[in-house]
Structure 1
Amino acid sequence: MANHKSALKRIRSNRAKQLRNKYQHKTTRNAVRDLRAATEKKEAEELFPKVIAMVDKLAKKNIIHKNKASNLKSKLTKHVAAL
């Protein structure tokens, strides 16, 4: 167990950040799933910019790797174009 005040604070702040990152990551995964499940081109085109923005934010904050974000964006772009 931590003995210093600063270490206790670090534990609390890390937990808060972990929960926030987990929430954002899960929300983005659900949005990606919804975009992939979309069968209407118009619906997919409306969702696409929002999902791309979410993925970019995760990559910017190092929640996901930048290459993973790039691969996701590429695959989603191809999916929307193919509809």
Structure 2
Amino acid sequence: MANHKSAIKRIRQTQTRRLRNKYYHTSMRSAIRKLRAETDKEKALEKLPEVSSMIDRVAKRNIIHKNKAANLKSKLAKHINAL
């Protein structure tokens, strides 16, 4: 356990950030899962910009790498075009 006041505060901060990042990551993943499960091409095309911006926001916050974000968006667009 931390002894210094600043170390105790740092533990609190990292815990808060970890939970926030986990929330953003899981919500992004569930949005991707819902989009992949969509069978109607029109509805999928409507949802694609929302999911893409969500992926970009998560990448901007460094929760996922920017190249992973690009790969995810590319795969989603490819999947929707194949519908």
Q: Work out whether 1:19 is the aligned partner of 2:19.
A: yes
Instruction: Tell me which residue corresponds to 2:74.
Output: 74
Instruction: Tell me which residue corresponds to 2:39.
Output: 39
TM-score (norm 1): 0.95
- Partners in 2 of 1:6 and 1:73 — Cα distance? 40
Shift of 1:81: 1.5
Q: Work out whether 1:59 is the aligned partner of 2:59.
A: yes
Identical residues among aligned pairs (%): 61
- Partners in 1 of 2:77 and 2:5 — Cα distance? 48
Paired residue secondary structure (2:39): coil
Name segments (4+ residues, structure 1) moved above 3 Å: none
**Structure 2 stretches of 5 or more lacking a match?**
none
Amino acid paired to 2:51: V
- Partners in 2 of 1:10 and 1:46 — Cα distance? 42
TM-score (norm 2): 0.95
Provide the aligned length of Structure 1 versus Structure 2.
Answer: 83
**Structure 1 stretches of 5 or more lacking a match?**
none
